[in-house]
Amino acid sequence: MSRRSAKSWAKLWMRLPSRVWRILRSPRVSLADKLLLVVPVLLYWVLPDWMPFMPVDDIAFTVALAGWFAGRMERKYGLGAPELPDRSK
């Protein structure tokens, strides 16, 4: 993996929580679509696991679902990345 692609992966995963939070707060996204993330994640975290006391699989599931959810909702509702202020001035 090249250095550039490693940086882009790091940016993607570092921004994921803010992307998901922005989508969940958006009035443009329907409640049914918001529940596509919340319900499966809550069920997965509450129901017994095959590997008790090992939260890594819960976290991996949550991150994978959040990545899918953010991409899908941003495409469906036209929610692009938030504009960053221009600091070149």
What are the structural domain ranges in the chain?
Answer: 28-78
pTM above 0.85, yes or no: no
Residue 88 has a pLDDT of: 59
Q: Give me the mean pLDDT over the 21-48 stretch.
A: 91
Name the residue with higher pLDDT: 44 or 75: 75
Q: Give me the mean pLDDT over the 70-75 stretch.
A: 93
- Axis-axis angle for helices 31-46, 56-77 (nearest 10): 170
Residue 44 has a pLDDT of: 84
Query: In 1-89, which ranges are continuous DSSP H helix?
Result: 3-25, 31-46, 56-77
Residue 51 has a pLDDT of: 59
Least confident span in 11-25, 36-50, 61-75: 36-50
Q: Which helix (H) or strand (E) holds 81?
A: none
Torsion of CA 18, 21, 22, 26, to 10 degrees: 180
